[in-house]
Amino acid sequence: MTIDTEHLWEKLYPAAWKLARSADPIHDRIGEAFRAIRDLKGEEFGPEERLIYNEITARMTKAGPVVENGAVKTGAVANTLADMPEGEACEIAESIFELFVQVAELHFKN
C-alpha cells in the first residue's frame, strides 16, 4: 500500500500549528488539533505512525459520548477532555507533534 504523505501532511500541519501557535489552554489546543486529524484512518499511515495515530484517537475518545434520550448531548472528544488531567493532555500533544514530525520526514524525503 502506498502512503499518501501529501494528504497526511495537509491534515497534520494545521494540527501541529494549533498546538504550537495558540496561547489557549492545553485541552483546547489538543481538541482543535485532534479535530484537524480525526477524519484520518489508521490504515492511511505506515505501521509505526498507525500505532501513534490509533493511540491518540483512543485516548481522545475514551470517555465516549454522553447520550440522553437517544441523542448525543456531548461528543466523545469533549466528554473525554472535560475530565482529562493536564499531564495526559500534554502527553497527547507530544504524540500529535511526534506524528506530525514522522509524517513530515516521510513527506519531504520523497
Q: For 13-71, write each residue's pLDDT tens digit.
A: 999 999 999 899 999 999 999 999 999 999 999 999 999 999 999 999 999 999 999 99
Cα dist from 59 to 6, 69, 80, 102, whole Å: 25, 26, 8, 20
Residue 1 pLDDT exceeds 80: no
- What is the mean pLDDT of the segment spanning 65-84? 97
- What is the mean pLDDT of the segment spanning 7-14? 96
Collapsed DSSP state (helix, strand, coil) of residue 4? coil
Return contacts of 6-11, CB within 8 angstroms, 24+ apart: 6/107, 7/44, 8/40, 8/44, 8/45, 8/49, 8/103, 8/106, 8/107, 9/103, 9/104, 9/107, 11/36, 11/37, 11/39, 11/40
pTM assigned to the model: 0.93
Q: Do 28 and 17 contact (CB within 8 A), yes or no?
A: no
Model confidence band, residue 109 (pLDDT cutoffs 50, 70, 90): confident
Domain borders along the chain are 5-109
